[in-house]
Amino acid sequence: MPFHFSLDTTKIGIIGLGYVGLPLAVEFSKRLTVMGFDVNAHRVQALRMGHDATLEVADSELTQAENLMFTTELDDLAQCNVYIVTVPTPIDEHKRPDLRPLMKASESVGTVLRRGDIVVYESTVYPGATEEDCVPVLERVSGLKCNVDFFVGYSPERINPGDKAHRLTTITKITSGSTPEVAEFVDTLYASIIEAGTYKASSIRVAEAAKVIENTQRDLNIALINELAIIFNRMNIDTEAVLQAAGTKWNFLPFRPGLVGGHCIGVDPYYLTHKAEAIGYHPQIILAGRRLNDSMGGYVASQRVKQMLTCRIQVKGSRVLMMGVGLQENCPDLRNTRVVDLITELEDYGIEVDVFDPWVDAVEAENEYGITLIGQPRTNAYDGIVLAVAHQQFTAMGVAGIRNLGREDHVLYDLKYIFPAEQSDLRL
C-alpha cells in the first residue's frame, strides 16, 4: 500500500521502559499520545505512581506527562500506529549476541501490527539485524508484508545513563527507514523532539553500523590507554601525569584507563565481531581490545595485592572496602558492571570484600550479581580501600574522610583518579 503518514495522526507505542525507552516516551508525550509498554509489572506500577528507579526521569516529569500511559497489556498497544522498540540487546555467557529480548518484542508488536503501521528499532544490533532478523518475525506473526503492508525504521539510541549534560534532546539522532518516504517521516518524527537535530542515514544498515562502531571505537581507545597504563606502571611512571602532558596537543584524545563494562561499550563490539565472523572475516584488533579490557579486573586485583604485600599487610583474611559497584558515577545503573570482576578476583585471594554504593539498589545487586551491599562502612576497619566509582558522596568525603575508614596501615587505591596522585597509595 502507498505510504501515507502524518504527525497529526501519530500515536506512539514504546516497547521497553528502561534507560532508553522511558525518556523517549516522556519526551514524545509532550507532543503526541504515547503508550509505554513493559513486561515488568513492578516497573510499570512504579511509573504509574510517578517514580523512575533509574533516575533518568524526574518524578515531576512523570506526573506532568498527561499524554503518557503505562501498561503491561499488549492489547493496549493496538491503538498505536508507530511502534518504537527499545529493549536490551545483551550478550550471552559465550559473548555472543542475545537477540531473545528483541525477538520477543518483535513478536509482541507483530500481534498488534496493522496495515500502514511503522515499527522503529532503537536497540543496538549488528548491521542487517533489523531487516534480516526482526522483519521476518513481524511478517510471520502479523501475516503482513514489509514495505507493502507495514514499514520499518532504525534510529539507534545514544543514551548515557547518569549524564545530566548529554540528554536525549541534546544529542544528534541518527534516523533511517525502509523506503525513502518512511525515512523522511521517521526523521521528521524525531526532529520534532530532538533539539540537537537529526542525521538521516542513507539506509537502515548504515544506521545500524554507525551505532555499533561508536562504542567499538571507544572500546579500542580505552584498551590502548589501559595497555599504556600497564606499561607505565612497570616503569614507575604516573599514567595520569603522562596523559595530562600528552593532552596539551590539540588532537590527542582524552581517554582514561579503567574497567570497561556497561550496556554499550562492553557489549557492542561483540555484535560487530559476530556479524564479521558470520560473513567469513575474523576480526583481530577489535577482539584484542576486548580481551585486554576484559582482563583489567584481574590486573587491578593483582596490583592491589602486590601493594598490600609491599606494605607487609597479610592478604588472606584481610578486609577491603569497595567504594562503588555501579557502572558510573551518580547513577544506579548496574548493567554489565566490571567492578564485579575486581570483587571476584580479590575474593579469590582470600580477601573479604565489603561493597558500599549509595546509588545502587541493594536488591538488584543481590539478584544480578549475588553481591550484598553494606549500609555504611565502618571506621578503622579496612586493610584496603578501592575507589571504584567516582560518586559525588565519595568526593565530598575527601581523602581524610576515606582514609579514616582504613586501619592504621592500609592501602588506598584510587581507580578513578578522584584525588591527586600524592594522596593515594596506588592508581591505575
User: What are the distances in angstroms from CA 326 to CA 262, 311, 323, 427?
Assistant: 9, 29, 10, 19
User: What are the distances in angstroms from CA 146 to CA 14, 104, 186, 415?
Assistant: 20, 18, 16, 50
Q: Return the exposure string of 214-236: e unless at least 16 CB atoms fall within 10 Å of the residue's CB, then b.
A: bbbbbbbebbebbbbbbebbeee
Return the HEC string of the chain: CCCCCCHHHCEEEEECCCCCHHHHHHHHHCCCEEEEECCCHHHHHHHHCCCCCCCCCCHHHHHHCCCEEEECCHHHHHHCCEEEECCCCCECCCCCECCHHHHHHHHHHHHHCCCCCEEEECCCCCCCHHHHHHHHHHHHHHCCCECCCEEEEECCCCCCCCCCCCCHHHCCEEECECCHHHHHHHHHHHHCCCCCCEEECCCHHHHHHHHHHHHHHHHHHHHHHHHHHHHHHHCCCCHHHHHHHHCCCCCCCCCCCCCCCCCCCCCHHHHHHHHHHHCCCCCCHHHHHHHHHHCHHHHHHHHHHHHHHHCCCCCCCCEEEEECCCCCCCCCCCCCCCHHHHHHHHHHCCCEEEEECCCCCHHHHHHHHCCCECCCCCCCCEEEEEECCCCHHHHHHHHHHHHCCEEEEEEEEECCCCCCHHHCCEEC
Q: Return the exposure string of 373-410: e unless at least 16 CB atoms fall within 10 Å of the residue's CB, then b.
A: beeebeeeebbbbbbbbbbeebeebebeebbebbeeeb
Lookup: cell for 56? 533518568
Which residues are known catalytic residues?
264
CA distance 224 to 378: 37
